[in-house]
Amino acid sequence: MDDVSLSDTGLRPLGTGRLLLIACGALAHEILALKAANGWSHLDLQCLPAKLHLWPEKIIPAVEAAVEAARGGYDQVFVVYADCGTGGLLRAACDRIGVEMVEGPHCYAFFEGNAAFVARAETEFDVFYLTDFLVRQFDAFVWRPMGLDRHPELRDMYFGNYTRLVYQAQVDDPVLDEKARACADRLGLAYERRFTGYGDLAATLSRVAAR
């Protein structure tokens, strides 16, 4: 599910309380799970390709284009991206075009809880993080983009300053746990599983959906 493109049936007339989430495709499973669990039938989802994370500079024009295309069709548009490597430029773009976005530097922080992630930062500078999505898509988003499928000898150069892989689990799934442990072994890192659930993402979407 690396190039997710999801939306409901299109734009609705204003005044109907419809809300559009423009989100990273890496968050599709989580957002759809929260939507179903909370009965947010007034909320529609459009996901941009998760592979944009490999080129953060492409996130901003993609978000701007999606917001522009949705204007006039929804009472509210909300961007479900954190900063995601854009150096504050995504926040500036959202401010400029008049839409809100998720708080935090990246999904690792808001799944952990932004405050909790900051509190751990000084002791986890040697940690490589994976989420449910990245465990499922480890080869497509980590192994192959870093060239480790072709040059496995580069592993120690890339990961020599890391000591642990922390799997931030959004759901309890023994299969994903085993896959995450295998990812740690492939990277030569100690393994830790940390159940985060949906963290600040759940609270943020709850606030947005209640408007």
Read off the pTM. Answer: 0.89
pLDDT of 148 above 70: yes
Spatial CB neighbours of 85, under 8 Å, sequence gap ≥ 6? 53, 56, 59, 106
- Centroid of chain to Cα 104: 11
pLDDT bracket for residue 75 (50, 70, 90): very high
pLDDT digits (tens, 9 = 90+) for 87-113: 999 999 999 999 999 999 999 999 999
Q: How confident is the model at residue 11 (pLDDT cuts 50, 70, 90)?
A: very low
Give the count of alpha carbons within 13 A of 94, CB side only. 20
SS3 at position 181? helix
Q: Side by side, which strands form the sheet with 190-195?
A: 127-130, 164-169, 190-195
What is the three-class DSSP state of 204?
helix
129 has a pLDDT exceeding 60: yes
Give the whole-angstrom CA distance, residue 127 versus residue 193: 12
Q: What is the mean pLDDT of the chain?
A: 93
Q: Which of 9-23, 69-83, 132-146 has the lowest mean pLDDT?
A: 9-23
CA dihedral 134→197→42→211, nearest 10 degrees, is -120
Instruction: For tokens 């390709």, name the residue.
Output: 49
Strand partners, 194: 168
Quickly state the pLDDT bin for 15 (edges 50, 70, 90): low
Tokens of 188: 């030569």
CATH no. of 19-107+199-209: 3.40.50
Instruction: Report whether pLDDT(142) > 70.
Output: yes
Of 182 and 16, the one with more pLDDT:
182
Amino acid making up residue 192: E
Structure confidence by residue, pLDDT tens digits, 39-66: 999 999 999 999 999 999 999 999 999 9
Per-residue confidence (pLDDT) for residue 187, from 0 to 100: 98
CA atoms within 13 A on the CB side of 185: 6
Region 24-46: what's the mean pLDDT?
97
Residue 148 in tokens:
């480790």
Please give the average per-residue pLDDT across 72-88, as a whole number: 95
Average pLDDT, stretch 130-135?
98
Q: What residues are paired with 195 via a beta bridge? A: 169
For residues 131 and 120, what is the distance between their CA atoms, to the nearest angstrom? 17
Contact 59, 32 (CB under 8 A): no
Predicted local confidence at residue 17, as pLDDT: 79
The number of helices, as runs of H, and strands, as runs of E, in the chain is 10, 7
In the chain, ranges of CATH 3.40.50 domains: 19-107+199-209
